[in-house]
A = this chain, B = another copy of it.
Amino acid sequence: MDEAIRKVGYVGLGIMGEPMAMNLLKAGNAMTVWNRTPGKAETLVGAGATLADSPAAVAAEVEVLFVNVTDTPDVEAVLFGEQGVARGAEPGLIVIDNSTINAGATQDFAQRLAGQGVTLLDAPVSGGDIGAQRGTLSIMVGGPEDAVAKVRPLLDVIGKSITHVGPVGMGQVCKSCNQVACAGALMGACEALALAKRNGLDLDKMIEVVGAGAAGSWQLSNLGPKIAADDHAPGFMIDYMLKDLAIVADLARANQLPLSGAALAEAYLRAVAAQGGGRLGTQAMGQALERLGAFTFSD
């Protein structure tokens, strides 16, 4: 099929999905959308999107259907629930899952959809809500080459860097690798800041000189100044990172691979969440670590 895709669906209009759907709409696609809370579709409908009654109804209308929901069971419900995508899909439909979920479950979902001629691509993203709004996301795509080629023009609308990393499920494996590297660099940056602060070192000077060398990372350069300023506003919320690190832990467990660094970062973030900080940005780990060495037991 050489015709450009024109009929596109988007299911899951959260902080990420809504701006991604809007960018697809602005690019000239006929958008049909669905969200569990219909109110969240208002802006899109106002801009010309059609609100459907169910994921099945979206699937019946479109050539390509994006899904962007929280976790593995949510994707399963959207795909295979009573009014799910599988109920409305015609053979030839391509489903692109932008959620971050379990890689093994993704492969299972793909197999079940293949039975009715539907192709599933996993395409988790990195770059946060700002990246979603600006269409500058990094997208890690798993799935068959021909389907990826077919939807690439749509992916180019929502992302800046589109990488086809392997067969279906590999997008999710790559996203897990991303969160593991993130967790290590975040923990290194937070511990470095805690050590600096405890010793009265100028934090901005430390971030500058350390960030310029072999210890440099996106986390240190971008979150370090926020940690120094006790600014906990979320770029990426601890609750979401904890969800992703639970997915990492499941994969590592399936692999019988110990990932102790990622597990330690998860434990630190869980401690912050347990103190009511789940909706803070991940950089709140910095203040938590610093306080570990600075509080006083009283009787």
Contacts and interface: CB of A to CB of B under 8 A. Distances in A.
Would you call the interface of chain A mostly helix, strand, loop, or mixed? helix
Contacts of A188: 180-188, 261-262
Interface string A190-233: 01111110111110011011101111111110100000000000
The bracket for how many chain A residues form the interface is 35 or more
Nearest to A208: B163
B198 A178 contact: no
- Chain copies in the assembly? 2
A127 interface: yes
A233 to B, nearest CB: 16
A166 B218 contact: no
A299 to B, nearest CB: 19
Interface stretch (A31-39, A79-87, A147-155, A252-260): A252-260
A109 interface: no
A167 to B, nearest CB: 9
A121 to B, nearest CB: 15
A165 interface: yes
Given A163-B205, A215-B178, A217-B217, A191 B292 contact: no
A46 interface: no
10 contacts: A170-B199, A173-B199, A173-B201, A178-B213, A178-B214, A184-B186, A195-B251, A195-B252, A214-B218, A215-B218
